[in-house]
Amino acid sequence: LTQGLEALRDLASETLDGHRMPLWVNTGLMADVARSLDRGAEGVGLYRTEVPFLLRERFPSEEEQRMVYREQLLAFAPLPVTMRTLDVGGDKALPYFPIEEENPFLGWRGIRVTLDHPEIFLVQVRAMFKASEGLDNLRIMLPMISNVQEVDEALELIKRAYDELVEDGWDIHWPPIGVMVEVPAAVYQARQLAQRVDFLSVGSNDLTQYLLAVDRNNTRVADLYHAYHPAVLNCLKIVVDAGHAEGKSVGICGELAGDPLAAPLLMAMGYDMLSMNDNNLLRVKAVIRSSQYSDLPALLDQAMNADTADEVQVLLRRALADAG
């Protein structure tokens, strides 16, 4: 399917009536980078820094991290690369940093781990800054935020790392910093979070899991895991409105962002960017290019007022079929 779509690579991601929707990619390995550039990605909305950590037998040193991050930044420059600080715990375990818990998804993961280990956080952020020397495309994003204190603490650490490096003569820029909205509490504090940072990005994988109380990896309850659940859609809309009320851009980087059926809905909600696995990029672009932006508010209204995820799915399928 992707083959026939290759012609779309250099065409704009915009609706028939000229409304733009930037399409970014999620990366982890260098292999993702080559394919993403090949498919015309406009930036990296989520670079999962866990990946280079998972490929090793011990924590990578500051210099090892610097080299890996520099490769990402250089490959995309001048396009922006959003580096998420280490998001381990939950389903992502480092063999050399075991975490034994009864409820790992409700336990020590993401920002919670790195704020308890500021030395890990500082080394990582220093490596990101050093990697960005002479470039201006680094963005930093914080995972699993559930309150504003975590953001304030993380910002202080980032500032400390930045000041030290500037003092040492590094030619670096203060980057845009963002928060992932992937815990229900963050949805309802999106305004307060947005006041502290430059952008918000919804992690719809975790947000769906936590909102619906459905383990994203448990096949027994997989039928209950659905990002089209009207409760999830309502949260997605709350986040965009809150971010925009604070004048900040709001993107989405969970799997939903790469779902061609969902693209018109996310556009209608007002999302400023979709970040997805590169293999979905051209399909999503095809859907956007066949959509009429002025038709979308009616679709959004129907979806937001649906009672079930199935109903939403039927609506989105029909909209796509109508668009041809």
Note the residues at the interface with ligand PEP (CB under 6 A).
46, 48, 87, 182, 203-206, 253-254
Our CB check for Mg ion shows the closer of 252 and 267 to be: 252
- Residues 166 and 157: their CA atoms lie apart, in Å, by 14
- Residues 74 and 317: their CA atoms lie apart, in Å, by 39
Can you read off the two tokens belonging to residue 79?
A: 């396009």
Of 32, 50, 206, 259, the one binding Mg ion (CB under 5 A) is: 206
- Cβ 155 to ligand PEP, closest distance in Å? 21
* Cα–Cα separations (whole angstroms), residue 215 to 74, 95, 162, 220: 36, 22, 37, 9
- Cβ 182 to ligand PEP, closest distance in Å? 5
- Residues 54 and 117: their CA atoms lie apart, in Å, by 18
Can you read off the two tokens belonging to residue 146?
A: 């559930």
- Cβ 203 to ligand PEP, closest distance in Å? 3
User: Which of Mg ion, ligand PEP, none lies near 39, with the C-beta cut-off 5 to 8 A by kind?
Assistant: none
User: Which of ligand PEP, Mg ion, none lies near 254, with the C-beta cut-off 5 to 8 A by kind?
Assistant: ligand PEP
- Cβ 264 to Mg ion, closest distance in Å? 24
Our CB check for ligand PEP shows the closer of 48 and 237 to be: 48
Asked if 178 is part of the footprint of Mg ion (rule: CB under 5 A), the reply reads no
Our CB check for Mg ion shows the closer of 60 and 203 to be: 203
Asked if 203 is part of the footprint of Mg ion (rule: CB under 5 A), the reply reads yes
- Cβ 180 to Mg ion, closest distance in Å? 7
- Residues 312 and 321: their CA atoms lie apart, in Å, by 14
Greatest alpha-carbon span in the chain:
59
User: Which of ligand PEP, Mg ion, none lies near 46, with the C-beta cut-off 5 to 8 A by kind?
Assistant: ligand PEP
User: Which of Mg ion, ligand PEP, none lies near 204, with the C-beta cut-off 5 to 8 A by kind?
Assistant: ligand PEP
- Residues 169 and 266: their CA atoms lie apart, in Å, by 43
The residues facing 81 across adjacent strands are: 44, 138
Whose structure tokens read 């470039």?
A: 135
Cis? peptide before 78, omega within 30° of 0: yes
Cα dihedral 80/86/88/92 (nearest 10): 30
User: Which of ligand PEP, Mg ion, none lies near 139, with the C-beta cut-off 5 to 8 A by kind?
Assistant: none
- Cβ 92 to ligand PEP, closest distance in Å? 7
User: Which of ligand PEP, Mg ion, none lies near 309, with the C-beta cut-off 5 to 8 A by kind?
Assistant: none
Asked if 60 is part of the footprint of Mg ion (rule: CB under 5 A), the reply reads no
Q: What 3-state class would DSSP assign to 171? A: coil
